């Protein structure tokens, strides 16, 4: 009799454990478990470059692509602004333009930290950002024979900035940035770029 009771108890415990595991699997991850989401943004960029050669700034336009990663909202909610921070990699290209003609490629990584725990009114989501990367330039350089050569440089760039995201629907939204790339080249230059584009989250 004792043996039957033990076996019955073991069977009941096994059935109960299996039911609990099935219930947990059906419910998915715990409410507090963070999920990760990604966004891809295409944007237009307008630079005001600090041109030490001509003692003025040079305005050039281009386009870029940004890939962002961030923690998605948990079912429990209650996240702070730092919990909503996102990281990104970006690349901005400007084709030949200006006088003298030149082009640039700015690549790097950045972190964006929202000012608030949630978008203001569900519409505006402002943030501060800082990025680190490489600013490559290629420009014509006139020579004494009347022709021109090409000067190419790749320099370290530190890029602080501010911006805002404007979520629309189904993971689609707009983003605008005002950034100040500080390029540490032969001469340190303080530049400015305005960016605006659309992103898709998945």
Count other Cβ atoms within 10 Å, centred on residue 109.
Answer: 12
SS3 4: helix
The percent of residues above 90 in pLDDT, for the chain, comes to 50
CB 36 within 8 A of CB 71: yes
Give the phi and the psi of residue 20 in degrees, each rounded to 5. -65, -45
What token pair was written down for 154? 């790749």
CATH architecture under which domain 34-201 falls? Beta Barrel (2.40)
Give the phi and the psi of residue 7 in degrees, each rounded to 5. -60, -45
Closest by Cα among 130, 138, 181, 180 to 156: 181
What is the mean pLDDT of the segment spanning 80-87? 82
The percent of residues above 70 in pLDDT, for the chain, comes to 72
Which pLDDT does position 98 carry in this prediction?
76
Over residues 140-199, the pLDDT tens digits come to 887 655 556 788 999 999 999 999 999 999 889 999 999 999 999 888 999 999 999 999
User: What average pLDDT does the structure give for the chain?
Assistant: 81
Q: What pTM value is reported for the model?
A: 0.75
Cα R_g (the chain), whole angstroms: 26
SS3 158: strand
SS3 81: coil
Give the phi and the psi of residue 26 in degrees, each rounded to 5. -65, -35
Whether pLDDT at 1 is above 70: no
For 68-77, letters b (16+ CB in 10 Å) and e give: bebeeebeee
Partner residues linked to 109 by β-bridges: 89, 132
Delimit the domains of the chain by residue range.
Answer: 1-30, 34-201
Confidence of residue 121 (pLDDT cuts 50, 70, 90): confident
Q: Helices marked H in 44-137 — which ranges?
A: none
Whether pLDDT at 14 is above 50: no
Give the phi and the psi of residue 19 in degrees, each rounded to 5. -65, -40
What token pair was written down for 142? 């006139």
DSSP state of 32: T
DSSP string, 165-196: EEEEETTEEEEEEEE--EEESSSEEE-EEEEE
């Amino acid at each position: 009799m004792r043996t039957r009771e033990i076996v019955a108890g073991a069977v009941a415990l096994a059935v109960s454990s299996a039911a609990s595991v099935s219930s947990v699997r059906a419910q998915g991850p715990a409410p507090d478990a963070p999920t990760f989401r990604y966004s891809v943004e295409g944007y237009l960029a307008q630079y005001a470059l600090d041109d030490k050669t001509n003692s003025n700034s040079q305005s050039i336009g281009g386009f870029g692509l940004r890939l962002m990663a961030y923690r998605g909202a948990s079912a429990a909610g209650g996240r702070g602004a730092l919990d909503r921070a996102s990281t990104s990699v970006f690349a901005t290209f400007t084709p030949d333009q200006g006088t003298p003609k030149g082009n640039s490629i700015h690549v790097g990584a950045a972190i964006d930290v929202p000012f608030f725990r949630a978008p203001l009114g569900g519409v505006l989501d402002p943030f501060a950002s800082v990025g680190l990367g490489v600013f490559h330039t290629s420009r014509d350089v006139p020579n004494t024979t009347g022709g021109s050569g090409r000067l190419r440089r790749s320099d370290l760039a530190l890029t602080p900035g501010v911006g805002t995201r404007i979520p629309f629907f189904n993971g689609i939204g707009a983003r605008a940035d005002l950034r100040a790339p500080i390029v540490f080249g032969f001469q340190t230059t303080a530049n400015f770029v305005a960016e605006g584009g659309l992103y898709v989250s998945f």
